[in-house]
Amino acid sequence: MTDPIADYLTRLRNAIQAKHRVVQIPASNLKRDITKILYDKGYILNYKFVDDGPQGSIMIALKYDPVNKVNAIKKLIRVSTPGLRKYTGYRNMPRVLNGLGIAILSTSKGVMTDKEAAVQKIGGEVLCYVY
């Protein structure tokens, strides 16, 4: 597999499209950090790291509106790919859906959202947009 982050996002999109409650994804440190950000920002209901085998996995409980069954995540867009990396500085952070969404960045200080990176005045590689 050449792009594990795209695989992570595709598994989430497929689970949302099929209206699953829980999705299981192979784990890595970067995927764990992205999952923590999605939980902190309220896009997923809960998560659990399962240590089964050498790699482990992540169990993610998806968040739905109880009345009309609409998921909290509308779109997941992979921005930087292995063939075409997309970097940004802190002065020109991307605005996702005019500030309503988040951009997840991989910086020298770890994985964080665009707003956290702008406050710390560091740039990095734009991994994905979530809204």
Q: One fold for both 4-62 and 76-130?
A: no
- Helices 4-17 and 29-40: crossing angle in degrees, nearest 10, is 40
Q: Which CATH number fits domain 76-130: 3.40.50.620, 3.40.30.10, 3.40.50.1100, 3.30.1490.10?
A: 3.30.1490.10
pTM of the model: 0.94
Fold of the CATH domain 4-62: Ribosomal Protein S8; Chain: A, domain 1 (3.30.1370)
Q: What is the mean pLDDT of residues 82-108?
A: 95
- pLDDT tens, position by position, 25-60: 999 999 999 999 999 999 999 999 999 888 999 999
CA 116 → CA 30, 68, 104, 111, 120, distances in Å? 17, 32, 10, 10, 6
**Average pLDDT value for the chain:** 95
